[in-house]
Homo-oligomer: A and B are copies of this chain.
Amino acid sequence: MYDRMQELNLAQMTKIHDASMELLKTTGIVVNEDEGLEIFKKHGYRVEGKTVFPTEEQIRKAIASVPPKFTIEARDPAKNVIIGEDDFAFFPGYGAPYIISPEGEQREATMEDYDTFCKLIQTSKYLDMNGWMMVEPADMPPSTVHMDMMLSNMLLCDKPFMGSPASREGALDGIEMASILWGGRDSIADKTVSISLINSLSPLQFAEEMVGSLIELARNNQACIVASLIMAGASGPVTLAGVLALQNAEILTGIALAQLVREGAPVVYGSTSSAMDMKTGALSIGAPELSKNVNYTAQMARFYNMPSRSGGGLTDALYPDAQAGAESALALYTAARNGVNVILHACGILGSYIAMSFEKFLIDEEVCGMVRQMLKPIDITDESIDIDMISTVGPGGQYLTHPKTFKLCRTEFFLPDLMARTNYDAWSAGGKKKVHEIADDQLSSRLAKYEKPDIDPGIEKELTEYVNKRKNG
């Protein structure tokens, strides 16, 4: 359809592809992990020290086995999530060390906060997936917190979840725990029950933990998002074209490695590259450049016939104000409209990833619902047009009391839980509440509705014992 957001033509996409291939062949990419290097060597890639120099032929051969679409299975099959092609899924925010309170105070996040997010996701009408490290709990030992988070993911919510990519060991913990949850290693041998985020270290590097995780996850058929998060002008070129070429080289190398480990391993082509703010030198994720990059990243993923991932409700604002609303809506809607499959950070993020906010989470969640409604196909039939009704109502008539209005208003119209539609008098009488105050008010009643999903008590015990044993071992 007509769209003012520019489409890349084949020549442009090929130019980006060619530039990435040239970079990989001549400059190479540093892989700081021994098994990763060994796997590349074994498949005939040129490796010098820690630098791998993939050829175009090698990359093309490896990525040929990427599935364009796969399913992440949930304990409740009705909650399975399909990743790829026309489907899309909303994931919560990821990686925030802090919580920003309704008063605008920043504090370290706790395990209780993490659990609260799991409960919000379980009760969410619009979020499809449970996340990972929605916040980094500061009150738990860092070396084992990944298991605490995984346990909460598994016990507090029965939606499919993101996995632990903290390290090779962390990834293996996640796989072990998933085996317990699903009734043994065999039961998940060919099943995908988690998806994990593997980031490159731009420019042109992969860190040890990320490669170790990627190898174990791919080996066990658990999905990996391989993503670049280049800050244009700092960890990558100032031009968007340069960023696209650089991130493409990185992403394809990670995806190739996953395919070398296990042909057909589920992977996603990801990016949240954005711009540096020229005043502060910091990353800006509210910048329009982020959405521009999302547009082109989604197109490059389709060029390779792979699922794509981008950011969602992203903002630089430190409070759920109009800036947070506008920036987050622009980024989320761009991702959804442009065909991104994994929309990470759909809910909750403030301050360029530094914090999550419960109020922002609820606001973003409603925006997810609105965006779904906006993208819902229209039904154009004689019945939906209904000329007879329009004729009968006639010039100057009204439709309010027409039976069809009563019958269809709940399916035709989006019904907000949060967004106000009152007049000034009613708003004044209610204390002139802003939407973040309404969200704050709703939080406790929302959590009161939460019910822990059923789980076999034996499995719950075994999972808890696994975590305790590993913590004490």
> Is the Cβ of A363 less than 8 Å from the Cβ of B396?
no
Copies of this chain present in the complex amount to 2
A166 an interface residue at 8 Å Cβ cutoff?
Answer: no
Q: Which residues of B contact A337 (CB under 8 A)?
A: 3-5, 337
Asked if A389 is an interface residue, CB under 8 A from chain B, the answer is yes
A329 to chain B, nearest CB (A): 4
Query: Which residues of the other chain, B, contact A405 by a CB distance below 8 angstroms?
Result: 233, 238
Partner of A420, one of B234, B317, B334, B378: B317
Contact pick for A330, options B329, B408, B427, CB 8 Å: B329
Q: Is A386 an interface residue (CB 8 A)?
A: yes
Task: Check A398/B288 contact, CB under 8 A, given A6-B378, A378-B6, A435-B317.
Answer: no
Pick the residue among B237, B241, B375 that contacts A381 (CB under 8 A).
B241
**Nearest-neighbor residue (CB-CB) of A402 within chain B:** B238
Q: Does A154 contact B (CB under 8 A)?
A: no
Residue of B nearest to A233 (CB): B405
Choose one: B286, B391, B436; the contact of A27 (CB below 8 Å): B391
**In the complex, residue of chain B having the shortest beta-carbon distance to the beta carbon of A31:** B395
Question: Within the complex, which residue of B26, B51, B241, B399 is in contact with A237, where a contact is CB–CB below 8 Å?
Answer: B399
**A319: min CB distance to chain B, Å:** 6
User: In the bound complex, do residue A400 and residue B318 qualify as a contact, i.e. CB atoms below 8 Å apart?
Assistant: no
Shortest Cβ distance from A202 into chain B, in angstroms?
9
A302 CB–B CB distance under 8 Å: yes
Q: Do residues A278 and B333 form an inter-chain contact, with CB atoms below 8 A?
A: no
A65 at interface by CB-CB < 8 Å: no
A367 lies within 8 A of chain B by Cβ: yes
A321 at the interface (CB under 8 A from B): yes
Task: Give the interface segment out of A11-19, A121-129, A135-143.
Answer: A11-19
Decide if A41 is an interface residue (CB 8 Å cutoff). no
Q: Is A246 an interface residue (CB 8 A)?
A: yes
Number of interface residues of A (CB under 8 A): 141
A350-408: which have CB < 8 Å to B? 351-352, 354-355, 360, 363, 367, 370-371, 373-382, 384-387, 389-391, 393-400, 402, 404-405, 407-408
The answer, yes or no, to whether A120 is at the interface (CB within 8 Å) is no
- Residues from chain B with a CB closer than 8 A to the CB of A333 are 329-330, 333-334
Say yes or no for A275: interface residue by CB 8 A criterion: yes
Partner-contacting stretch, out of A67-75, A292-300, A445-453 = A292-300
Q: Tell yes or no: A469 within 8 A of B by CB.
A: no
**CA gap between A334 and B384 in the complex, in Å:** 24
* Interfacial chain B residues near A336, Cβ < 8 Å: 4
Check if A464 is an interface residue, CB within 8 A of chain B: no
Say yes or no: B396 contacts A233, CB within 8 Å: no
Residues on the B chain within 8 Å of A189, using CB = none
Closest to A373 in B: B288
Is A320 on the interface with B (CB-CB < 8 A)? yes
Task: Report Cα–Cα, A299/B355, bound state, in Å.
Answer: 40
Contact (Cβ within 8 A) A414 B289: yes
* Partner among B51, B329, B376, B385 whose Cβ is within 8 Å of the Cβ of A239: B385
How distant is the Cα of A307 from the Cα of B408 in the complex, in angstroms?
32
Q: Could you give 13 example pairs across A and B, Cβ below 8 Å?
A: A4-B86, A4-B339, A5-B374, A233-B399, A233-B409, A237-B389, A237-B399, A240-B378, A277-B413, A291-B374, A322-B363, A322-B435, A326-B370
